[in-house]
């Protein structure tokens, strides 16, 4: 039985086509069918849609039920790629500074896990991640420094969500998650450039 649910925001994988052809929905279905985690899946093609969905998740009735924010899209160091609906060329995605965007959510992220599955997006100075943790009081931030193979990253995400479900949203639980994923999936941890930063100053009662 799942303990924690996932609020998933998925970007577009091919802005030149009407349909992407690929999606993380099969991951979410496996997690649901296995009783690992329930989820809500949303597609965001533009940065405006991304901002809207993040605001929608901020409402307490949603964020308290869906305690893992799972954002997946194309990425580069410190950024995610989304189209701009205000641009004259909506077919050309732009780079969105993901850490700056998440910081604007402030304590709505308190006690939550932020999981960003995107190529190279966490290939940044640790101070940038630490600033996000300080401003939001999230309990942990997860991402990747390297380019991601689709199949390998899907397998890793399933394993990661399974391990999260078996632990608590406490500092002890986060340590167990990190230790378990490194021991059991060391090959993928190294190949994908897995990075998990735990909020060592986590304040449970912060509003």
Cα separation, 84 vs 135, in Å, equals 26
Whether 7 and 40 have beta carbons less than 8 Å apart is answered as yes
Q: How confident is the model at residue 185 (pLDDT cuts 50, 70, 90)?
A: very high
Cα separation, 84 vs 73, in Å, equals 15
- Smallest CA-to-CA distance from 146 within 185, 184, 117 is with 117
Whether 100 and 132 have beta carbons less than 8 Å apart is answered as no
How far apart, in Å, do the first and last CA atoms of the chain sit?
Answer: 28
Domains assigned to the chain: 6-198 (3.40.50.1460)
- pLDDT reading at 159 higher than 50: yes
Cα separation, 117 vs 70, in Å, equals 7
DSSP-derived secondary structure for 66-134:
--EEEEE--EETTEEEEB-TTSS-TTS-EEEEHHHHHHTTGGGGTTPEEEEE-TTTT-S-HHHHHHHHH
pLDDT digits (tens, 9 = 90+) for 1-27: 467 899 999 998 876 555 556 899 999
Average pLDDT estimate for 102-115? 93
Q: What is the pTM of this model?
A: 0.91
- pLDDT reading at 113 higher than 80: yes
Neighbours of 21 (CB within 10 A): 8
Average pLDDT estimate for 185-206? 90
153 DSSP 8-state letter? H
The pLDDT, as a whole number, for residue 83 is 84
- pLDDT reading at 206 higher than 60: no
């Amino acid at each position: 039985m799942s303990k924690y649910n996932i609020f998933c925001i998925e970007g577009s994988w091919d802005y030149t086509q009407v349909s992407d052809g690929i999606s993380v929905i099969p991951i979410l279905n496996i997690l649901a069918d296995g009783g690992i985690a329930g989820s809500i899946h949303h597609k965001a093609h533009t940065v405006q849609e991304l901002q809207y969905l993040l605001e929608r998740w901020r409402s307490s009735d949603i964020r308290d039920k869906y305690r893992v924010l799972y954002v997946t899209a194309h990425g580069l160091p410190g950024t995610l790629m989304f189209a701009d609906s205000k641009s004259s060329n909506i077919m050309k995605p732009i780079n969105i500074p993901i850490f700056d965007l998440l910081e604007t959510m402030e304590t709505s992220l308190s006690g939550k896990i932020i999981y960003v599955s995107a190529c190279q997006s966490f290939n940044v100075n640790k101070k940038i991640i630490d600033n996000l943790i300080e401003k939001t009081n999230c309990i942990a931030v997860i991402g990747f420094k390297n380019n991601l193979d689709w199949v390998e990253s899907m397998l890793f995400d399933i394993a990661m969500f399974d391990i999260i479900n078996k632990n608590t949203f406490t500092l002890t639980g986060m340590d167990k998650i990190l230790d378990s994923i490194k021991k059991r999936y060391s090959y993928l941890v190294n190949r994908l450039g897995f990075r998990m930063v735990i909020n060592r100053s986590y304040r449970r009662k912060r509003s």
